[in-house]
Amino acid sequence: MTYKYILVDGYLEIDNEKISFSKRSDDSLKKRNRSNIIITIVFIGSLQYLMKINALHKIKDYIDVFLSALGLLVSAYLIYYLVFKKVWSKKITINTISKIIIKKDDYETEVIIKLLNKREKELNFRTLENQVEPFIEQLKKRNSRIKISHERV
């Protein structure tokens, strides 16, 4: 059975073994990503144009090396982003949670999940929706070794 919770910036689902996160689509983030892609295409296009000019034959080899290195860096970043940021950061195994820190505010409650491998995941709940306590209870049912500490902001 899965339980669903609403976060400030997304959604959270708990099943028997893991916690899954999903972000709400943010239009400003999409626009920023589009502008970064456009800037990259314009930059690479301008370098390609410079390579076609006959006067720059001497630096053509340097531009080729630079474009190859840039392509490798972009490929490595995309692999890192897709594997580590998109896939692995959206799922947490409940058995790997060691500690939960709850920081309560008037409007938002921040829940910091600390894992056994020293990673941390921050979750922001709206205080008025009262979803933090049921979330913590569900985690305690599945992993009784979790230490919980409360802090007042």
Q: Which residues contact 95 (CB under 8 A, 6 or more apart)?
A: 17, 143
Write the pLDDT tens digit of every residue in 110-148: 999 999 988 888 899 998 888 999 999 999 998 889 999
Does the pLDDT of residue 52 top 90, yes or no?
A: no
- Work out the percent of the chain whose per-residue pLDDT is above 70: 76
DSSP 28-67: HHHHHHHHHHHHHHHHHHHHHHHHHSGGGTTTHHHHHHHH
Write the pLDDT tens digit of every residue in 32-42: 666 667 777 77
Measured distance CA(109)–CA(132) in Å, rounded: 8
> How confident is the model at residue 74, as a pLDDT?
79
The pLDDT confidence band at residue 152, using thresholds 50, 70 and 90, is confident
Token readout for 14 is 């708990």
pTM: 0.63
